[in-house]
Structure 1
């Protein structure tokens, strides 16, 4: 068995400065470090959230659009990256705040197929899917 801890998810974006601002402003992330591979015109920004997770935003001119799913079920028709998920204390207000900040609805808040979990999906301004999960009831049940 290999031991390790999940470190980050990488998203390819067309507007690196704009998406950096969006993730910092909406999710409370901060720039951890920036890098450039000038010989291939490739730039990136690693963002860090106070809760410890990281999102790496990557930009290379000439990149083409990949998955642009209208919902998570459609995203499952394409192999590879689908979405990343955030465990939040309450799905509904976070969903509303992200929509107000420019995210688009992909699945409104509702019960998850996982018992005791509430979920929703939004897409960031470039169409990357973000799942919101509230596992509060599950954690309370496990702690009892």
Structure 2
């Protein structure tokens, strides 16, 4: 049985009606290697780079999306990333877990990621109640990224 998710109507009267998604920031241990991974493995574009104190920062965007960016934060000595090699175990950690990218086909996207030797975390799965096919992959430092396809 397929469940349809009922999304509440937009609240244009909200005092926060100007809020819209923008970006997610990721603390990475190697600025240049992270930029290279996103641009070579995911075809992201480097939008802007700048220094902030002893840090290096950059905005990166997917190949055809100017509305969602990933911000890389690098420099100094960041703490070790939790081990997210097992998706089920990763769900027990507190705090940031992943960000999600919508795709037309999870399976086709995973096939291309495998060709590009990207680490896939678990197998794709369907969640009928939200009408999505999902899969997860990780950057070289264990940061999780979710793929979502509307069923």
TM norm structure 1 = 0.83
Of 75, 84, 103, 1:88 maps to: 103
Q: What are the equivalent positions in structure 2 for 1:49-128 lying under 5 Å apart? A: 49=62, 50-52=64-66, 53-112=68-127, 114-128=129-143
CA distance in 2, matches of 1:7, 1:115: 23
Q: CA deviation at 1:67?
A: 2.2
After superposing on structure 2, the runs of 4+ consecutive aligned residues of structure 1 that deviate more than 4 Å are: none
CA distance in 2, matches of 1:99, 1:45: 26
Q: Is the 8 A contact 1:122 1:129 kept in 2?
A: yes
Larger CA Rg, structure 1 vs 2: 2
Quick one: higher RCO (CA 8 Å, sep 6+), 1 or 2?
2
Unmatched runs of 5 consecutive residues or more in structure 2: 1-13
Number of equivalences: 134
**Corresponding residue number in structure 2 for 1:16:** 31
TM norm structure 2 = 0.80
Q: Is the 8 A contact 1:102 1:124 kept in 2?
A: no
Q: Is the 8 A contact 2:24 2:71 kept in 1?
A: yes
Judging by fraction of residues, say which structure has more helix. 1
Of 24, 43, 58, 1:45 maps to: 58
Provide the alpha-carbon RMSD of the alignment.
1.7
